[in-house]
């Protein structure tokens, strides 16, 4: 798939088919993460692939989804919830650069997932202390973000908006999620 197509295809997905993803596709995502840009190339991020059903559920119970259209894109366990999480781990107290490193890695994983026909939801709104405890992380480590992964059971669409448009994503009458994106000229100054 052309990268320009992938850019459009990669939309955050919050409804998943109840089919487990292949190891090879998770590995393709991890390959994208490990090759991502990284400040000073420190490579301190670590990943836990969670597929144990009970652990996935316990983590899922600590997550929050699509606040702008809640509760309409909060997945239901056993119906359309993710069956896999990739948990992004960092050593504690390393500072803001780890946020940037995680961003580069997660975005890369999202594109690799989209190329494999998978959908992802990057999750920052979760009960971190609970999830850290559930994963039994050693003290020098903490979770930074979660990435839900699975076969998409919805097809959100991006749409271009001018600066005066609303940035709130929304559901249309057919229950399709629309994600407004500001046009280039609304976000760019050339000097």
Ligand X SMILES: Cc1cc2nc3c(=O)[nH]c(=O)nc-3n(C[C@H](O)[C@H](O)[C@H](O)COP(=O)(O)O)c2cc1C
In the complex, which residues of this chain contact ligand X (CB under 6 A)? 11-12, 14, 64-66, 121-125, 156, 169, 179
- Residue 72 beta carbon to ligand X: minimum distance, rounded to whole angstroms: 11
How many of the other CB atoms lie within 10 Å of CB of 10?
20
Q: Which is nearer to ligand X, 12 or 101 (CB)?
A: 12
Q: Indicate the angle between helix axes 97-115 and 23-34, nearest 10 degrees.
A: 140
Q: Which is nearer to ligand X, 38 or 120 (CB)?
A: 120
Kindly state the helix (H) or strand (E) to which residue 181 belongs, with its residue range: strand 177-182
DSSP state of 30: H
Order of strands across the sheet that contains 46-50: 46-50, 84-91, 141-150, 119-123
Q: Which is nearer to ligand X, 19 or 157 (CB)?
A: 157
Spatial separation of the C-alpha atoms in residues 16 and 37, rounded to whole Å: 29
- Residue 124 beta carbon to ligand X: minimum distance, rounded to whole angstroms: 3
Q: In 3-state terms, what secondary structure has residue 97?
A: helix
- Residue 7 beta carbon to ligand X: minimum distance, rounded to whole angstroms: 10
Burial letters 174-186, b for 16+ CB under 10 A, else e: eeebeeeeeeeee
Q: In 3-state terms, what secondary structure has residue 94?
A: coil
- Residue 73 beta carbon to ligand X: minimum distance, rounded to whole angstroms: 7
Q: Which is nearer to ligand X, 14 or 15 (CB)?
A: 14
- Residue 111 beta carbon to ligand X: minimum distance, rounded to whole angstroms: 11
Contact predicate 145/102, CB 8 Å: yes
- Residue 191 beta carbon to ligand X: minimum distance, rounded to whole angstroms: 27
Q: Which is nearer to ligand X, 85 or 169 (CB)?
A: 169
């Amino acid at each position: 798939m052309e990268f320009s197509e992938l850019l459009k295809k990669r939309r955050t997905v919050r409804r998943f088919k109840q089919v487990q993803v292949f190891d090879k596709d998770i590995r393709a995502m991890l390959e994208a993460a490990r090759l991502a840009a990284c400040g000073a190339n420190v490579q301190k991020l670590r990943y836990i692939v969670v597929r144990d059903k009970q652990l996935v559920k316990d983590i899922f119970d600590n997550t929050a989804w699509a606040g702008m259209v809640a509760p309409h894109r909060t997945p239901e366990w056993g119906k359309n919830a993710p069956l896999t999480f990739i948990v992004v781990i960092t050593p504690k107290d390393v500072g803001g650069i780890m946020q940037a490193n995680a961003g580069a890695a997660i975005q890369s994983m999202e594109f690799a997932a989209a190329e494999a026909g998978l959908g992802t939801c990057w999750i920052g709104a979760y009960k971190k202390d609970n999830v850290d405890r559930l994963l039994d992380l050693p003290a020098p480590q903490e979770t930074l973000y979660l990435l839900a992964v699975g076969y998409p059971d919805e097809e959100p669409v991006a749409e271009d908006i001018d600066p005066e448009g609303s940035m709130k994503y929304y559901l249309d009458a057919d229950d399709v999620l629309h994600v407004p994106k500001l046009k280039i000229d609304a976000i760019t100054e050339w000097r």
